[in-house]
Amino acid sequence: MTDSLHIADNEAQVLSRYLIGEKCSDQTVYHYTEAVQKMNAVLNESQMKTWRSMLRSLFYLKLIDSGLALTNPQSPLRKRIFIMLALLESSPDHVRYFLPQERSIWYLIPLGFRAGMSALYGIFGFFSVKLLGVG
């Protein structure tokens, strides 16, 4: 297996859309590239193949991320996602997504729906990760 730090051209933008639903700045892309290299988020051949598939589909990205959260939270695949999460959270342009907001009691309805969907993604992701041998 050949270790690789290869960073796809649109990797940072895909992760940003996955995490907050919008693109990030060029500066965040630069910091992401630097952080992946400094944190040595190396992917083996199998992980690289899975990673490329994850970057092509937000559904697949969410599915595998959810499965890895249960089976291998320290995976280099998740490490790259968390690098982007940390950069977005610390960026003044995107901090609004991470600050608490005042909400009405009715917000519990969509929140409950999201929690249920997250549980489903976790279950199907768990089996997908096990069947595909992703890690």
Please tell me the distance from the alpha carbon of residue 8 to that of residue 4, in angstroms, as a whole number: 11
Q: Residue 73, SS3?
A: coil
Cα angle: 29, vertex 96, 89; to 5 degrees: 40
pTM: 0.87
Please tell me the distance from the alpha carbon of residue 10 to that of residue 13, in angstroms, as a whole number: 5
Judged against a pLDDT cut of 70, whether residue 127 lies above it is answered with: yes
Question: What's the pLDDT score for residue 95?
Answer: 86
9 class by beta-carbon count within 10 Å (0-12 exposed, 13-18 middle, 19+ buried) = exposed
Residue 37, token pair as written in the block: 């290299």
CB 14 within 8 A of CB 29: no
Summarize pLDDT for 52-111 with one digit per residue, the tens: 999 999 999 999 999 999 999 999 999 999 999 999 999 998 888 888 889 899 989 999
Summarize pLDDT for 25-47 with one digit per residue, the tens: 999 999 999 999 999 888 888 89
